[in-house]
Structure 1
């Protein structure tokens, strides 16, 4: 808990939770400094233009953002915290650090299979190497559908899903875990951001021959009393045209749009499928083609243009 005297807050991290804390402290009237340790804002979740737009939002809210320095030390100076970086020092009342996760599974060494970091491997039924032992939550691998590989990235929603699956399976069920797209969303002072799957850079780093398209279009028709633009990106694999990731940003709540793309990634659907999949049309809510359809249609047009050359 922060007291009324904790006015200057440093948040050290570059993940959705860190940005959510920044916005929460802003709403409480705190003076916030965000340190992203040499990376653009939310670099692992969004393309560069989203990072720039997020930076504009934060600076407009008088949040100090430090992206070109690395935090090297935190020192309790008796009246607060000194945040030392490779470019200077900053005095704050409190510092919150996104420390990451590390499993504490030493008691299971020699009992179940785990990697050198202590992460317990589980199969699609959430069983360990001993089929009579199940493991859920922040000590286990999860199956990342965009790459088809098991990774360590603890997610509260995945832990809940795993627990429900285990409850079914220990009672004789054969329920499989469907994997994850690592969907995320946040609200920065009224601007909604959502991301799932791979960014273009991460797709290339994972070995995909990937492509990307970004468009901006209104979420509902222009003849309505008001409408709002949606900035959006789709990433796919060339050749197979399989969807690998997507990003959205708007003053309109676009967070649920991630769910539609999430199903497509989980089912290994193509950009062609998403381009014309049936979606609700009612001008109070969207266009005859939902903006997600339009995004996929832009991807199809770009891919078809390359094929025709």
Structure 2
């Protein structure tokens, strides 16, 4: 069996390793556009402040390891430009030489990931304007920081934007975030996002809401960011306004979603025979929305890749979907969410209500230094849990994971009260904060 995998990162190599571990003889060729395999993108912002020593530290396995230990034909600098399902052929070019290539497959996995959205702004090619997606991107930023960089402008106040703002701020840069909308972290409801904004102000990070970037100016190096409202002097710009799935090379035979992601079923199969897809280029079934969604995260990429690999090797494994769980550290705040926000529930025309409380993550007599704001969204008639958002100084991860598990199993707010959760004064009160919130729904 000849396997071809497009993409050498989380989903692609999770799949490749499942095939390697199968009993059948494997012939695996992986086509990677870059030169680095299997690395943790999520760790890259922390190299800016030195929490992670070097960008290369996030590499899980080297190309040589895949080639020599696991006998995978791991190609580098191989960019796929076309897939022809009628002849089961993949075409492309080598990015370092321009040489064309083609490979035949019996089964194909598309795990090509996603790339940052690059707006068509004048001056985006000036020196000092960056995006962060790869290890080379990160090394370029670190190298540029050796210059006399004082003012950093970040375009976009989402996950990467906030992580980069924190890390630039930690090394003494003056940070300004330009956000097109009226809040940071748009997956959160606005009342919760206000807590994030307050933390940004405490840390001296400036946030400009309701401003759209028009262009960048400078002779050779970026000097100003011009928006529809004002001009800002800057020495470095980081653009983080979302990602697009890398699916331009697939033809009209493939079913594509609203964001150009490949639509897959529970077995990670596309609508084209013998072609699978996984990770940031593929859809994810959302268990609460009960429909396909596009939530590109490393957790999903690894799980989908593992399942795709099992099925490519002849098994019949299912991906049971997501509930939309994520977490972020932003200076003194832990910021977590899962399931639906009020905005999403309203968009889906659900009959919902919500409860929000501010409490302590530990017994109040043990410490009054930390706070936790918990918001849960639930279905009115049934009390079925729909989602949760938690922001605070301590213990957010513990509670968000409990809510994520409850959502996965379609539990109600009444069920939350029945949970036997751990308690000792340094860790919790006798009623956990999510149970305190659940009480308010009765």
Task: Give the TM-score normalised by the residue count of structure 2.
Answer: 0.64
Q: Cα deviations across residues 117-166 of structure 1 (Å, max 9, x unaligned)?
A: 54211001111113522111222111122211102232221111111111
The equivalent residue for 1:296 is 438
The equivalent residue for 2:410 is 268
2:164 counterpart of 1:16? no
Q: How big is the alpha-carbon RMSD for the aligned residues of Structure 1 and Structure 2?
A: 1.9
- On the 8 A contact 2:399/2:434 being kept in 1, the answer is yes
Unaligned runs of 5+ in 1: 302-309
- On the 8 A contact 1:121/1:140 being kept in 2, the answer is yes
2:239 counterpart of 1:67? no
Q: Cα deviations across residues 248-267 of structure 1 (Å, max 9, x unaligned)?
A: 11111312321111111122
2:313 counterpart of 1:171? yes
**TM-fit CA distance, 1:76:** 3.8
- On the 8 A contact 1:221/1:227 being kept in 2, the answer is no
Counterpart selection for 1:54 from 192, 196, 209: 196
Separation in 2, partners of 1:22, 1:253: 23
The equivalent residue for 1:246 is 388
The equivalent residue for 1:105 is 247
Counterpart selection for 2:238 from 86, 92, 96: 96
Unaligned runs of 5+ in 2: 1-140
Q: Report 1 or 2 for greater relative contact order, CA contacts < 8 Å, sequence distance ≥ 6.
A: 2
- Distance change (3 Å), C-alpha of 1:112 and 1:61: same
What is the number of residues matched between the two proteins? Answer: 299
**TM-fit CA distance, 1:202:** 2.2
2:376 counterpart of 1:237? no
Separation in 2, partners of 1:41, 1:108: 34
Counterpart selection for 2:179 from 33, 36, 41: 36
- Distance change (3 Å), C-alpha of 1:122 and 1:212: same
**TM-fit CA distance, 1:175:** 1.8
Larger of the two Rg values belongs to structure: 2
**TM-fit CA distance, 1:79:** 4.0
Separation in 2, partners of 1:179, 1:167: 17
**TM-fit CA distance, 1:35:** 0.9
- On the 8 A contact 1:211/1:235 being kept in 2, the answer is yes
Separation in 2, partners of 1:121, 1:48: 31
- Distance change (3 Å), C-alpha of 1:31 and 1:231: same
Separation in 1, partners of 2:361, 2:296: 33
